[in-house]
Structure 1
Amino acid sequence: MPEEPAHGRDGGARSPSRPADPALVLALCSGAGFMAFLDLSIVTLAFPDVLDDFPGASLDTAAWVLGGYTVLLAAVLTPAGRIADSVGRRTVFLWSLGAFTAASLLCAVAPSLWWLIAARCVQGAAAGGMIPAALGLILAATPRGRIARAVGTWSAVAGFSAVVGPAAGGLLLRGFGWRSVFFVNLPLCGAMLAAAAVALPRGWSRGSGGRLPDAVGSAALVLGVGGVVTALTEGHAWGWGDIRTAGLGLGGLALVGVTVLRSRGHAAPALEPVVWRSPVYRTANAGLGMLNATMFAWMLAAPLFAAHIWNWPVLRTAGALSVGAVASTVGSLAAGRLTRPAAQVKTAVLGALSFTGSNALWASDLFGPTPDFLGGWLPAAVLGGGGLGLALTCLSSLAAGAVPPPLFAGGLGMTLTVRQIGGAVGVAGFAAIMASGPDPGGIASYHRVFIAAMAVNILCAALVCTLLPAVRPAGADRAPTP
């Protein structure tokens, strides 16, 4: 017979037998997040080899090797989090990690391009279930006063995938071919799966045991977010006035609207309205969405600028990109040591302004036709990476602190969905700006991208600086526990 969950006074499930080790939970769940985000970056390097291995495939079709993962990841995050809160974060985490491992094997042995695309979609959906369940487990196991540090550590480990991704991907591709970037997941994920099954006590963090979230609303949310992200991602290639772009974008928004309307009066809503009543949660998510938009634009612009304008080889570009990733990791770890909300707000503003300064450097003559690593790239990468690490970690901690314990996975799933949508907006904005003006793809086009990013970052800093201090000093702007 399965054990009945016991609930502590904070509303979260506690173990009927033994508690989970917070440090071990953090290590396992951070490792899972690392793998999920690694597969966003490492496959990008493998894309040209995939095209060579499947001759005759169109570029638009092959792009779904990358896009399928991103779209399914964004679409599944929120409903998977709500399911994890209901049936148990441990259960969803283990099943998602197992599915991610199996999908990696299917990608590695793919006999055709369509097989690979389908397997990547499954892999993205599994990652979308794994990430919010992992964060929910971390928050459930971590003492309240150490949540900011735990979130900072998780963010740093996830961000470190950007350091490892280019270097590891380059070495694997050079030595073993594109299939190796999927084969490498198998021993790593298999070890984590075995360790998690033993280290996470059965019956611990099982969830509320209540009804599963509204099936119709959840399905509408998955399809709606998937449609919006697809339209934003593919709009430049298809054309913003194309029937596919308009249909997916407007249809997706309509489906999200259906979910919102159903959630207002449903006993088990797909979107939990109580979380969005928190001004802190709303403001932190708005800031995270804006920062992710500018971060994704930078993640596209920087390597393309290095390759196309400065003519750097792949390994040199990968090494230069690692500077920003290391700075982001350091910033995340530093921000994780902050526990006072007022300090987190100030640091988030400082981080957003630091990233603004980085974009100002990128938009200057330091990034002209002549390569300048020490005078241009290095300070811009340190400012930008460090600022992002500070701002993203602090805003994520503020959002997490506003979520009641029974809704950890669902609340953080919504936060991650907002971030993914922000990233899709950033990608679409980058493509649109690069294609506009008298010199599409030229240096001036890149400069315009960074000027636009500066404006968004300043708006983010102003929003956080203006709205968050007004609600945090009261100390408890936390959504009420239902």
Structure 2
Amino acid sequence: MLDSTVANLAVPSLAGDFPGDTPAGTLSGISWVITLYAIVFAALLAPAGRFSDVIGRRALFCSGVAVFTVMSLLCALAPNLDVLVVGRGLQAIGAAAMVPASLAVVLTDTPSSQRTKTIGLWSAAGALAAAIGPGLGGVLVEWVGWRSLFLINVPIGIVLFVAGLRRIGTGLRGGRVPDPIGTVILVLGVGLTVLGATKGEEWGWSSPSTLLALGLGPVLVALVLLRSTRHAVPVVETTLWRNRTFLRANLAAMVYGAALFTWLLVGVLVLTEQWHYSTLKAGLAMSPGALVASVTAIIASRVGERVGPRVISVVGSLTIFAVGVFCWVFLPENPHFTTFWLPLSFVIGFGIGLMSWSLSVAAVMSASPVKFASATGMNIACRQVGGALGIAAMTAVIAAEPGLSGYQLVYLVCGLCALAAAAASAGFHFPKYVPAPAPRSEATPATEGTVR
């Protein structure tokens, strides 16, 4: 999840190392470092989750970690832009396998009474990684250079691979490979949709390329969904969508993703372009909100045992909506870190942390344990696609209304997306969280919450 956002602040350095024939050509080429990763990651999340039934959760997790780690090293050592772009695309394949497999591993090997806490820890990691990406990227680029963004993955990946082989059970395996034709069509459909949304401003929203991508992409996705209802081993578990909570959790994830990824990027733009912060200073300014989001996700897992994910999600999304409206009205033209940015970082981090936990719970816990990986993959894919669409909308807004007023409008759009997430979350129907019976042993009088 960190690599979804960490590369944003590397763009200026990459442009200096890999210049094109023209400034526009340079930016167009460099943008593929971010765009290709987003396309491949979003397109393969759902199919990758289905492969856990075929090769087992340990094999899927470890193979994903291995590919991600090796490709991270390739990106760090890339001698030219072409190698870097190819490495990013292959890196995203490993990420798409690793992310849904990771939650499937955690939940399958966790007692049902502890799963909400486990999702809290998993969501905290994801929230921290995605939110801290721009800040960490700024610090590393400023101090070490852009290659360090990819080198940091290598030692962590090696440790995870070895630990995965030793500590993760093989899990159920031997199922049939999900519909190969459907997989290809899904990858093309999601890829074209994300590509059109991401490159629309550069190509022109009325250009044939943009219209073809945005028109054909959704049609291909619809065809895959229709094909999956009739296929013996579908690439998309359409049976999951019959659960209204799962359906609403994915709708909420899509509009929340639009708000989250846009919020993170517009924050960097405000700090560097409007307030003229250095890359390093902007990175440090983004850090407090990320830390608050991580801590909040863990706390939400404990509070959520009593009130359920619906309340947590509605509160979190309404918090983001309120901050978005506040920024729309009061975003200052000049720097006001201690009186504006810092306090709002705490509030927005609180909202992001709540949403990270609640949407994961609502999606995963509305599926059976054998479908955890598929449910996770689809939920994160919806969030990624929403993020690409949100960034595309931000680009269009800023192009039409440059400067402070444009940033204010983007914050309003983020707030409205969060409000839509609140509306979707309000329809969650989830089993009540009730206290577990108190242990008979006097040595352990505390009670634990459980799902019934």
TM-score (norm 2): 0.90
Measured after TM superposition, the shift of residue 47 of structure 1 is 2.1
Secondary structure in 2 matching 1:265: coil
Stretches of structure 2 lacking an aligned partner (at least 5 in a row): 434-452
- The 5 A counterparts of 1:139-288 are 139-162=107-130, 165-166=133-134, 168-201=136-169, 204-207=170-173, 209-288=174-253
How far did 1:162 drift? 4.5
* In the alignment, structure 1 residue 351 sits paired with structure 2 residue 316: yes
Pick aligned residue for 1:452 from 410, 413, 418? 413
Is the contact between residue 7 and residue 134 of structure 2 (CA under 8 Å) also seen in structure 1? no
C-alpha distance in 2 between matches for 1:379 and 1:445: 22
Q: What does the per-residue CA deviation read over 1:188-218, in whole Å, with 9 as the maximum and x for residues that have no partner?
A: 21121112111223xx3133x2211111111
Equivalent position to 2:31, from 63, 86, 110: 63
> Cα offset for 1:164?
5.1
Match of 2:430 in 1: 472
TM-score by length of 1: 0.85
Confirm or deny that 1:54 pairs with 2:18.
yes
1:391–1:173 CA distance, 2 compared to 1 (3 A)? closer
Partner residue in 2 for 1:8? none
Aligned to 2:442: none
- Unaligned residue ranges in structure 1 (runs of 5+): 1-36, 476-482
Task: Please point out which of 94, 104, 110 is paired with 2:78.
Answer: 110
Q: 2:45 aligns with which of 77, 82, 96?
A: 77
1:424 aligned onto 2:388: yes
- The verdict on how the C-alpha distance between 1:263 and 1:363 changes in structure 2, with shifts beyond 3 A counting, is same
Aligned 8 A contact 2:308 2:432 in 1: no
Pairing 1:303–2:272 present: no
Aligned residue type for 2:113 = G
Say whether the 8 Å CA contact 2:138–2:282 is kept in structure 1.
no
**SS where residue 220 of structure 1 aligns?**
helix
**Displacement after TM superposition at 1:43 (Å):** 2.1
Question: What is the match of residue 443 of structure 2?
Answer: none
Matched residue type, 2:272 = A
Counterpart for residue 317 of structure 1: 282
Which range moved further: 369-378 or 219-228?
Answer: 369-378
Count of aligned pairs between the two proteins: 429
Q: Tell whether the 8 Å contact from 1:288 to 1:392 is kept in structure 2 after alignment.
A: no
Q: Which residue of 2 aligns with 1:129?
A: 97
Most deviating of 79-88 and 177-186: 177-186
Q: Please say if residues 146 and 339 of structure 1, whose CA atoms lie closer than 8 Å, have aligned partners that are also in contact.
A: no
2:277 is paired with a residue whose SS is coil
How far residue 261 of structure 1 moved from its aligned partner, in angstroms, is 1.6
Shift of 1:184: 2.5
- CA drift at 1:95: 0.9
Do the aligned partners of residues 347 and 167 (structure 1) sit closer, same or farther apart at CA in structure 2, a change above 3 Å counting? closer
Cα distance in 2 between the residues matched to 1:94 and 1:272 = 23
CA distance in 2, matches of 1:167, 1:280: 34
Please say if residues 288 and 342 of structure 2, whose CA atoms lie closer than 8 Å, have aligned partners that are also in contact.
yes
Q: Distance in 1 between matches of 2:144 and 2:414?
A: 38
Matched-pair identity in % = 34
Residues 50 and 427 from structure 1, CA distance in 2 versus in 1: closer, same or farther, beyond 3 angstroms? same
After superposition, the Cα gap between the structure-2 partners of 1:309 and 1:177, relative to the gap in structure 1 and judged at 3 Å, is closer
- Backbone CA RMSD of aligned residues: 1.9
